Chains A and B, each alone.
Chain A
């Protein structure tokens, strides 16, 4: 077998393993939680009965697990795309301020426009995410060297802080919504129900499809704008398409879960160790790994802080930030 064929087979194997791991992890998520449940409870809850507390707990965990899977996949994918589009190893919806943009848009919608429908939230979040992305990229690319990782990270950090100050400014006078927003701001999958997940599915689906479609284009973009154009890609269109997919995915996710950071950063780096930089493999892998990792983070949050819960946004920050630092250390300063 040729080297590439062996590599492909190996990656296929990893993919299958990842999918299997995902199923196991999802099952664990349903089984484990702040309250212990028995096997009987699991079986009866799955068949629809919610009589006992144990069954009720399970019934809550199923949509929660589902949301975690979807959100994790969306964020992992979004991060991988952002890193590909900006050719920047430090890109992530949280770091680039895109999550905060989505948050701010939603908060403004709720506070000033009495937005209530789920579709309204999602649309606004996507709009906010898009605006933030454009803004941060514009600032970060000014000047010599274009959008270097440091400049983008700084532009993103500054924008994040600006937006979060604005969020506070909008929310503070509104005692009626303040509590709810504060809970949502931390970023978590708690309290998920099928009614809440439903509206976001079409957006996520569109994002997934668009993302997988851009995989080839991202491979070309990775070679640099000139080479990509030389290979026949319309660079601007490819970028815009891929960026739109990323924004769709993380905007929709933020609308439901609040801003969850660092997942989009860490997942692609881990996956790259197994798949290399071929986006046709990297993207699906990032989706699977993101889903798995977010579920694991949620499980950890439920176990570690018993009988209370650690929201998944906190777990990803606590674990993700050290990984971010590790990545920064690995890079040569010249590349930063």
Chain B
């Protein structure tokens, strides 16, 4: 083997890694810009100096409420939820080798949302207990869908179809519970049916941050094995990956992420589904998709919410915006896969 070939291989790798880092940097910049914009400009423009003073703890009249109570918690929740959905979604898509096998399509988001609605309306719970129930329900639904689609192994098509069926059931459960709930406004109902970051409070984002640290960390630690799974179960096993164990860990981590976010913001439609494919278009094959997808998720929720609040003729929760965006993309994806003769 020539030295120059080794050098070429190494140089190739460095180049790809550099490109990957650059693109991640770009995404981070985009998110930072959107975050700042959300703080600066809402119904009114708040000068940057006042924002900084409020963040430092000073009590600037008017600004403390607008920025401190309204805009900041909302932006923080948007980023945290977006990261959670993006990570959870892409993990499923990579593991099942199918962009359509996204947790919001196969029913996991719905399960978490149904549990959250049940906990809040029927059991009257609040806070972390809701989150815990949501995670448990998410795991339960994942198990259910997996179990129901198992017949001599899991076929992707069957998994997705079973997931669609389970989603329909859970949706009607949510609709029913909401219809029996006393004095629910349409806005609140929409939170649990499409997702919203309205009325966010900083305190409620703390459990989400914790969940992100735990489940996100778990997922990132499995990142390499997850990449190997893309080559097929057999090849991955031949490369030394414990396929079964990796699958379980990835599922637990991804469901934990999705359910924790859903428990607070509702199932923000399609963010989990869109983040992976969009990140793939941006980053290509230059490296792991996990972090890029997380960032794309954050961007989607942040920008989507801003549009829903200020750029449209009426005020819409973020779930309606991402729902309206995501469905055409889903259709586009189906068309593209069909055209290229690929299989779903």
Q: Do chains A and B touch in the complex (CB under 8 A)?
A: yes
List residues of A whose CB falls within 8 A of some B CB.
90, 94-95, 139-140, 142-144, 149-151, 153-155, 157-159, 161-162, 164-166, 168-169, 172-173, 178-179, 182, 186, 261-262, 308, 310-311, 313-314, 317-318, 320-322, 324-325, 328-329, 333, 336
> Lowest 3 A-B CB distances belong to which pairs?
A143-B338, A162-B327, A165-B323
A172 touches B320 (CB 8 A): yes
Interface presence of B337 (CB below 8 A)? yes
Give the distance in Å from the alpha carbon of A90 to the alpha carbon of B157 in the complex: 13
A310 to B179, CA, bound (A): 10
Least CB distance from B337 to A in Å reads 7
Q: Which of B157, B166, B331 contacts A155 (CB 8 A)?
A: B331
Additional A-B contact list (19), CB under 8 Å, known A139-B338, A154-B164, A165-B323: A140-B334, A142-B334, A143-B337, A143-B338, A143-B340, A158-B330, A158-B334, A162-B331, A165-B269, A169-B324, A172-B320, A186-B175, A186-B179, A311-B176, A328-B162, A329-B149, A333-B158, A336-B155, A336-B161
Q: How far is the CA of A324 from the CA of B171 in the complex (A)?
A: 15
* B327: chain A residues within 8 A (beta carbon): 158-159, 161-162, 165
- In the complex where A161-B327, A165-B323, A321-B169 touch, is A172 in contact with B314 (Cβ < 8 A)? yes
Contacts of B324 in A (CB 8 A): 162, 165-166, 169
B252 at the interface (CB under 8 A from A): no
CB pair B269–A328 under 8 Å, yes or no, is no
| Total cross-chain contacts (CB, 8 A) | 139
Cβ-neighbour of B158 out of A318, A320, A328 (below 8 A): A328
Q: Which of B88-112 contact A (CB under 8 A)?
A: 100, 105
Which of chain B's residues have a CB closer than 8 A to the CB of A321? Answer: 165-166, 168-169
The reply to whether B344 and A151 form a contact with Cβ atoms under 8 Å apart is yes
Q: Tell me if A329 and B158 are in contact (CB < 8 A).
A: yes
Q: Provided the pairs A151-B338, A159-B331, A329-B151 are in contact, do residues A318 and B344 lie with their beta carbons within 8 angstroms?
A: no
List the A side residues contacting B344 at CB < 8 Å.
Answer: 150-151, 154
Q: Does the CB pair A144–B194 fall under 8 Å?
A: no
> Quick one: which of B162, B331, B343 contacts A325, CB cutoff 8 A?
B162
Q: Which residue of A lies closest to B159 (CB)?
A: A328
Taken together as a complex, chains A and B put the C-alpha atoms of A76 and B218 apart, in Å, by 48
For A261, the chain B residues whose CB sits under 8 A away are 168
- Selected from A95, A157, A310, A328, the residue in CB contact (under 8 A) with B105 is A157
Q: Give the Cβ gap from B328 to chain A, nearest Cβ, in Å.
A: 6
Give residues of chain B (260-280) contacting chain A, Cβ–Cβ below 8 Å: 269-270
Most buried by A among B148, B155, B331: B331
A172 touches B186 (CB 8 A): yes
Q: How far is the CB of B311 from chain A (nearest CB, A)?
A: 13
The digit string for B277-321, where 1 denotes a CB below 8 A from any CB of A, is: 000000000000000000000000000000000000110100010
Per-residue 0/1 for B165-196: is the Cβ within 8 Å of any A Cβ (1 yes, 0 no)?
Answer: 11011011101100110000010011000100
Chain B residues closer than 8 Å to A144, beta-carbon distance: 338, 341, 343
B49 at interface by CB-CB < 8 Å? no
B164–A157 touching, CB < 8 Å: yes
The CA-CA distance from A151 to B331 in the complex, in Å, is 10
Q: A144-B343, A322-B169, A329-B151 are in contact. Are A182 and B162 (CB under 8 A)?
A: no
Cα(A153)–Cα(B330), bound, Å: 12
Residue B213, interface by CB 8 Å: no
Query: How near does chain B come to A188, taking the closest CB pair, in angstroms?
Result: 10
B339 close to chain A: CB less than 8 A: yes
A294 to chain B, nearest CB (A): 15
CB distance from A278 to the nearest CB of B (A): 27
Beta-carbon contact of A329 and B148 below 8 Å: yes
Chain B residues with CB under 8 Å of A318's CB are: 169, 172-173
Nearest to B144 among chain A residues (CB) is A325
By the criterion CB–CB under 8 Å, are A324 and B331 in contact? no
- Residues from chain B with Cβ under 8 Å of A328 in the complex: 149, 158, 161-162, 165
Would you give the shortest CB distance from B316 to chain A, in whole angstroms? Answer: 6
Contact between B169 and A153 (Cβ–Cβ < 8 Å)?
Answer: no
B335 interface hit (Cβ, 8 Å): yes
Partner of B169, one of A139, A140, A317: A317
The residue of chain A having its C-beta at the shortest distance from the C-beta of B170 within the complex is: A321
